[in-house]
Amino acid sequence: MKKMFCPVVFCCLCFWRLVVFAGTDAVKTVSAMEGDSVTLNSGLTEIKAHDIITWTVGLSKTKIAQIDKDAGISSTYDDVPDGRFRDRLKLDHQTGSLTITNTRNTDSGDYQIIIKRTSNPATYNFKVTVYARLPVPVINRNCSSSSSSSSCSLVCSSVLNVCDATLSWYAGISVLSSISVCDLSISLSLPLEVEYQDKNTYSCVLNNPISNQTTHLDINTLCHTCAGTTALMIYVCVY
């Protein structure tokens, strides 16, 4: 009689290992654009009796939300760790999923859900990255560059206060050059030399992993700016 229980016990152990280890290994990556909402899915369709769902943030595992069915608790704790989540946490009382609204760069980081259902607690980790909204890059002629009379020196630039952005020159759909710097409050600038008669379609693109901003180059308009300025200065002096 006792022997018959062995496979059952063994299977239960297997299942327990599966739940625990599948949970701890996988890190789900979630991205959002600054200002948008991001939802961390519990993976549950309903909260059952005796379930305890706990959401934490950071390495300190600060509790930011909890559903404790038996205790009748279903709350967010948005005053911890430092009030940065105030009024921005929404807990789905049906599924236990957590939504962070109006995201900020400081919401980037590690989050964890611990699902305690009877005796099989499962842990799922999330890595949240909030990307800044990108400004539109600006193309100017570089008048201090001593380029040949048939060509025009241009520079595309952008001012950022975040990492993870790349500035590139495209000719059609081919990348000509790129620059990417990770620093605080930086201005990225990338030069391009074109011939006046060039028939390519050039564009300057600022992108991060989830979005981009593009400015198209109009050679006819931009490549006459320097001459225009000089003519104006001469006109003013003569007058």
Ligand X SMILES: *[C@@H]1O[C@H](CO)[C@@H](O)[C@H](O)[C@H]1NC(C)=O
Binding site for ligand X (CB under 6 A): 142, 144-145, 155, 189, 191, 205, 207, 212
Q: Which is nearer to ligand X, 18 or 175 (CB)?
A: 175
Query: If DSSP codes are grouped into helix, strand and coil, which group holds residue 161?
Result: coil
Q: How far is the CB of 143 from ligand X (least distance, A)?
A: 8
Q: How far is the CB of 163 from ligand X (least distance, A)?
A: 18
Q: Which is nearer to ligand X, 47 or 152 (CB)?
A: 152
Residue nearest to ligand X (CB): 145
Q: How far is the CB of 188 from ligand X (least distance, A)?
A: 11
121 burial level (CB within 10 Å; 0-12, 13-18, 19+): middle
Q: Which is nearer to ligand X, 155 or 171 (CB)?
A: 155
- C-alpha 152/C-alpha 219 separation (Å) is 9
Q: Which is nearer to ligand X, 99 or 145 (CB)?
A: 145
Q: Phi then psi for 158, rounded to 5 degrees?
A: -155, 145
The residue among 186, 184, 182, 178 whose CA lies nearest residue 212 is 178
Q: Helices in 107-224 by DSSP H: which ranges? A: 219-222
The residue among 105, 130, 119 whose CA lies nearest residue 40 is 130
Q: How far is the CB of 31 from ligand X (least distance, A)?
A: 14
Q: Which is nearer to ligand X, 43 or 191 (CB)?
A: 191
Q: How far is the CB of 127 from ligand X (least distance, A)?
A: 23
* CA angle (112 as vertex; 108, 116 as ends), nearest 5: 165
